[in-house]
């Protein structure tokens, strides 16, 4: 699949990456995503270009769409940047999918390009379905995969910390222990065991994200 557009500037988005600084260089940019993840990318260059051509890997053609062109101004140049939406299916196979961006594509200038490596990661936790309105009718919420964590909290951990498996696993243990404490609050023994589990899980999280574990855990609990 080819998408050809006339632009003055090209930029690949957050975090902002500047590419094609030199006349004949080629750059590589890797995007790591999880199945089910949706994001936007803006691709750019320090140089001004009249046009670009985007060649997508055949398996990801349906995942990509050009959503808008944005006017850009800076002390160096002004022009347009391209915003591309990426929606990865939940059943996407893990692997690396290569695509190519050519700047001012002409036979003599084809070496000026950006290789985009889209890496679909193997999830370390499952992605449950989006829970319905009944999710908030009880403290337990909906836990469709019966792993001890509410689906809404689990989905937050899955997407918020995509590509950070250690954080995901540590947060799942924190969430599981807190859920157990809430559900078993009337049982002294269950509450005691839940507190012990939380202490162990939080210590692990503190080691994984030193200095910010409290903030990370608090945001996770507020996600429900």
Q: What is the pLDDT of residues 73-96, one digit of tens each?
A: 665 555 556 678 889 998 898 899
Domain count of the fold of the chain: 2
CATH code of the domain containing 91: 2.60.40
Residue 196 maps to a domain: yes
Q: Are residues 12 and 103 in the same domain?
A: yes
Which pLDDT tens digit goes with each residue over 191-212?
Answer: 888 889 989 988 898 898 887 8
Q: Are residues 22 and 79 in the same domain?
A: yes
The pLDDT score that the predictor gives to residue 71 is 62
Which pLDDT tens digit goes with each residue over 9-45?
Answer: 222 322 323 333 344 445 777 888 889 888 887 766 5
Q: Are residues 31 and 113 in the same domain?
A: yes
Domain that holds residue 115: 2-120
Which candidate, 121, 131, 130, 129, places its Cα nearest to that of 162?
121
Domain ends where: 86, 120, 154? 120
Q: Are residues 196 and 108 in the same domain?
A: no
Domain ends where: 120, 142, 165? 120
**Residue 165: pLDDT above 70?**
yes
Q: Are residues 20 and 104 in the same domain?
A: yes
Q: Are residues 144 and 212 in the same domain?
A: yes
The pLDDT score that the predictor gives to residue 32 is 84
Q: Let me know: does 85 contact 42? Beta carbons within 8 Å.
A: no
Residue 128 maps to a domain: no
Q: Cis peptide before 15, with omega less than 30 degrees from 0? A: yes
The pLDDT score that the predictor gives to residue 48 is 58
Q: Are residues 9 and 116 in the same domain?
A: yes
Residue 127 maps to a domain: no
**Residue 111: pLDDT above 60?**
no
Residue 63 maps to a domain: yes
Q: Are residues 206 and 114 in the same domain?
A: no
Task: Using a pLDDT cut of 70, give the percent of the chain over it.
Answer: 72
Average pLDDT, the chain: 75
Q: Are residues 104 and 174 in the same domain?
A: no
Mean pLDDT score, 134-138: 82
Residue 15 maps to a domain: yes
The pLDDT score that the predictor gives to residue 129 is 86
């Amino acid at each position: 699949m080819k998408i050809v557009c006339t632009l003055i500037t090209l930029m690949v988005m957050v975090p902002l990456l500047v590419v094609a600084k030199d006349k004949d260089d080629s750059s590589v940019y890797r995007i790591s995503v999880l199945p089910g993840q949706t994001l936007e990318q803006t691709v750019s260059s320090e140089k001004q270009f009249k046009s670009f051509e985007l060649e997508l890997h055949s398996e990801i053609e349906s995942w990509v769409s050009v959503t808008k062109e944005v006017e850009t101004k800076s002390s160096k140049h002004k022009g347009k940047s391209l915003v591309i939406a990426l929606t990865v299916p939940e059943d996407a196979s893990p692997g690396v999918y290569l695509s190519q961006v050519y700047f001012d594509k002409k036979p003599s200038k084809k070496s000026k390009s950006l290789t985009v490596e889209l890496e679909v990661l193997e999830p370390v936790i499952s992605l449950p379905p989006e829970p319905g309105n009944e999710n908030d009718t009880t403290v337990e919420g909906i836990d469709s995969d019966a792993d001890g964590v509410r689906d809404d909290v689990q989905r937050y951990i899955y997407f918020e910390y995509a590509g950070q498996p250690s954080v995901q696993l540590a947060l799942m243990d924190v969430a599981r222990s807190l859920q157990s404490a809430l559900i078993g609050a009337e049982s002294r023994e269950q509450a005691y065991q839940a507190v012990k589990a939380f202490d162990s899980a939080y210590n692990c999280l503190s080691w994984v994200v030193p200095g910010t574990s409290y903030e990370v855990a608090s945001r996770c609990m507020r996600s429900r």
